[in-house]
Amino acid sequence: SSEEQEEKMEKSEQAAAAFPPSFSVSEIKNKQRRHLMFMKFKQEKRKQKLQLKKKKKKEREALGDKAPPKEVPKTIENQRVYDETTVNPEDEEVAFDEGTDEFCSYFNGLTNPKVLITTSDRPRGRTVRFCEQLATVIPNAYVYYRRGLALKRVVPQCIARNFTYVMVVNEDRKVPNGLVLCHLPDGPTAHFKVSSVRLRKEMKRRGKEPTEHSPEVILNNFSTRLGHSIGRLFAALFPQDPQFVGRQVATFHNQRDFIFFRFHRYIFKNEKKVGIQELGPRFTLKLRSLQKGTFDSKFGEYEWVLKVSLSAVTVFFKMQEELCCLI
């Protein structure tokens, strides 16, 4: 057996010394040696890359004006296919569709929003505080404790009491993680995933408590047809006549299908400079489904459903083509 061991050592030494073409760093059984070989390999690669870069730079300088233009790196934003559902502001049909949809009564000044905020059953402290802070942000909002009532039964009662929105904050593991926003008379129901919730006391450099004035609403980047529907859903949460005296603004910023909510107070120092103070909670939303009609997850008709795919590759391509639906 000792002879066999010697033979093996010789062979491995020969292999290490001779570097036959089928050699790969992963075949070395000794961890330290393998690590060293890999480090050497990486350093070699880095050196080669630097040399290539230097060469290219020299060539570019040598050519001067005639050099080919610099290549733009591929990013997800670059690779995005133009979405044909992007709304053209002059389109009559879309304008009519929006002018007669479920939200038109707010934008025509006929109704005022009245929001009911509730949670899933038996909420923990964080969610309760989140709901209270949301109620200060949204004017005319009422927080009620959900006593284990079924949503389908809550909805007709709210309609009878003239509420226009029901907002249900879902909680999981003591943290709010979902939001169901149901527009009441017979309107669409949007289900969002909520992440990175920051309550008021966790905010750095925040201002004092928000006042009772109605805030202005900023909706950024809701340019496709679906984006328009969601944008109107948010805009109808707030009264249509913002009180500029209060200098408060709620922003819904959509980027790559994530909607960021921020609540600020601004002050104009002079014509060009603005100072802002962040008040209020901040959270991000991601649309999971938009259902036509009031909350009915089993038998309702969905207008848009997020398709979760399991493999990372398909997610990447979907983000390029289909998933970026709101922008």
Give the footprint of another protein on this chain (CB under 8 A): 84-85, 91, 93-94, 96-97, 100, 225, 292, 298-305, 307, 322
Smallest distance from another protein to CB 100, Å:
5
Q: Compare residues 97 and 132 and give the one whose CB is closer to another protein.
A: 97
Of 80 and 253, CB closest to another protein: 80
**Which helix (H) or strand (E) is 190 found in, with range?**
strand 189-198
Q: Please answer whether residues 123 and 171 qualify as being in contact, where contact means their C-beta atoms are separated by less than 8 angstroms.
A: yes
Helix or strand (DSSP H, E) at 28? none
Q: Nearest approach, Cβ of 205 to another protein (angstroms)?
A: 41
Instruction: Show contacts of 26-30: CB within 8 Å, 24+ apart.
Output: none
> Whole-number minimum distance, CB 97 to another protein, in Å?
5
Q: Which two tokens stand for residue 18?
A: 């001779």
Q: Which is nearer to another protein, 19 or 82 (CB)?
A: 82
Neighbours of 215 (CB within 10 A): 26
Q: Do 146 and 164 form a contact (C-beta atoms < 8 A)?
A: no
- At closest approach, how far in Å is the CB of 226 from another protein? 8
3-class DSSP assignment, residue 141:
strand
Q: Nearer to another protein by C-beta: 162 or 314?
A: 314
Give the dihedral of Cα atoms 285, 289, 290, 291; nearest 10 deg: -140
By C-beta, is 34 or 256 nearer to another protein?
Answer: 256
Q: In angstroms, give the least distance from the CB of 208 to another protein.
A: 44
